[in-house]
């Protein structure tokens, strides 16, 4: 009976290590060359791709793993309008240069509309800057008005 080569024996051990649910070892190709294991095929998730890599690395005799498994990219869905509205309202609250109690937010299809009244033009611009880089913002309509009331002397505050 011929003896199994070291690479073939290591390949069998890696395949055994990969044989667990929900990972289907049959969907994973394993090749070995001088202790370097290459995993190929498709798995249902990034988590299972990483699990297969860890399982292969845990087999004695494996020097390195090339993880060439394909997995679907995690879905990075943009926030829905209610999530975006909440994030925008929070951003206005946290941004000190915005009088958040006088600026309102409306979101529709990722477009943010700012309304309300502020006392300075700088506050109007700050409201827009506060939400400009939020994930999911498709555009901004800044309808915030600046009141006609003159500022009292000494009331200037840095943004």
Neighbour order of strands in the sheet with 36-42: 28-33, 36-42, 64-70
User: Per residue in 9-51, pLDDT tens?
Assistant: 999 999 888 886 566 666 789 999 999 999 999 888 887 888 8
User: Per residue in 49-76, pLDDT tens?
Assistant: 888 898 899 999 999 999 999 988 766 6
User: Per residue in 141-152, pLDDT tens?
Assistant: 999 999 976 555
Q: Which two tokens stand for residue 4?
A: 């199994």
- Contact yes or no for 114/142 (Cβ under 8 A): yes
Q: Which two tokens stand for residue 12?
A: 């069998």
For the chain, the domains span 6-70, 81-146
Nearest residue to 118 via CA among 131, 127, 109, 110: 127
> Rounded to 5 degrees, what are φ and ψ at 5?
-65, 160
Q: Establish whether domains 6-70 and 81-146 are of one fold.
A: no
Fold of 6-70: GMP Synthetase; Chain A, domain 3 (3.30.300)
């Amino acid at each position: 009976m011929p003896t199994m080569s070291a690479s073939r024996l290591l390949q069998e051990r890696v395949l055994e290590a990969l044989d667990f649910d929900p990972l289907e070892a049959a969907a994973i190709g394993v090749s070995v060359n001088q202790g370097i294991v290459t995993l190929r095929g498709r798995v249902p998730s990034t988590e299972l791709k990483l699990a297969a890599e860890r399982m292969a690395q845990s087999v004695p005799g494996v020097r390195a793993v090339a993880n060439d498994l394909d997995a679907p990219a995690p879905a990075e869905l943009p926030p829905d309008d209610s999530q975006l509205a909440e994030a925008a309202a929070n951003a206005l609250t946290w941004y000190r240069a915005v009088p958040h109690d006088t600026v309102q937010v409306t979101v529709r299809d990722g477009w943010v509309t700012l309304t309300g009244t502020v006392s300075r033009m700088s506050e109007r611009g700050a409201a827009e800057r506060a939400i400009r880089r939020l994930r999911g913002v498709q555009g901004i309509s800044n309808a915030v008005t600046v009141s006609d009331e003159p500022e009292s002397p000494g009331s200037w505050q840095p943004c």
